[in-house]
Amino acid sequence: MNTRQQSGPEAPAERRRRQLLEAADRVVLREGPGASMNAIAAEAGITKPILYRHFGDKGGLYAALAKRHTDALLRALRDALDAPADRRRRVESTLETYLLAVESRPQVYRFLMHPAESPPSSEGGFDVGVHSVPLLRRLGEELAEVIEDRIDLGPGGAQLARVWGHGIVGMMHAAGDWWLGERPCSRAELVRGLTDLLWGRLAEADDREGGPGF
């Protein structure tokens, strides 16, 4: 989920920042939303003031971790959408990719989406709306771009693509959150159910000419 793409030699400051984020990831995997700056600094073998120097505060560290994981998730979602398969299978694969990311690292998911669960501390708590809403909006906008690129929705298609993008992300988030907490069915059953819900006008829309389709 957090594989880094190689794009040339890594500068010392970038390498150090990556190492600190990896240390933060390890703490989040153990402690979830309760991960503290003290624990992350200790994991990285540094003092908390040095951690603050790199990220400013816990909110800055959260934003860096959110970007790290969101970038990786978006790459995986795009790969699922572009896979050589029929449209329904690609929709299923996209939902599966999101839910697998949630299931495989639930503590990271809770840290990113439910930081308000963190107990009050001198470091200050999180407001889940302030921190998780921008992350979900970014996912919605990115998915809207993919939909607009791949499906001919006719007049007003750009606006409809944004409606669909944010709607699908909201559905995945709400359904995934409920499913992770209660586990009322298998992941495969949830994927099939959500795909059936989406399989209305999406199934009838035409692909754009000359494009990869959706």
Per-chain mean pLDDT for the chain: 83
* Confidence label for 93 from pLDDT (cuts 50, 70 and 90): very high
* Confidence label for 212 from pLDDT (cuts 50, 70 and 90): low
Residue with tokens 């009050």: 120
- Whether 74 is covered by a domain: the verdict is yes
Q: What range defines the domain where residue 184 resides?
A: 66-207
* Confidence label for 87 from pLDDT (cuts 50, 70 and 90): confident
CA distance 149 to 190: 27
Mean pLDDT along residues 62-81: 87
pLDDT score at 187: 96
- Whether 197 is covered by a domain: the verdict is yes
Mean pLDDT along residues 44-58: 89
Name 72's Cβ contacts closer than 8 Å, sequence gap at least 6.
1, 2, 3
Cβ atoms within 10 Å, residue 133: 11
Using the predicted structure, report yes or no on whether residue 177 has a pLDDT greater than 90.
Answer: yes
- Whether 57 is covered by a domain: the verdict is no
How many folded domains does the chain comprise? 1
- Whether 143 is covered by a domain: the verdict is yes
* Confidence label for 1 from pLDDT (cuts 50, 70 and 90): very low
* Confidence label for 120 from pLDDT (cuts 50, 70 and 90): very low
According to DSSP H, which parts of the chain are helical?
A: 12-31, 37-44, 48-55, 58-81, 87-104, 106-113, 128-150, 157-182, 187-198, 201-204
* Confidence label for 62 from pLDDT (cuts 50, 70 and 90): confident
Structure tokens of 168? 């699908």
- Whether 154 is covered by a domain: the verdict is yes
- Whether 199 is covered by a domain: the verdict is yes
Mean pLDDT along residues 9-23: 85
Amino acid code (one letter) for 83: A
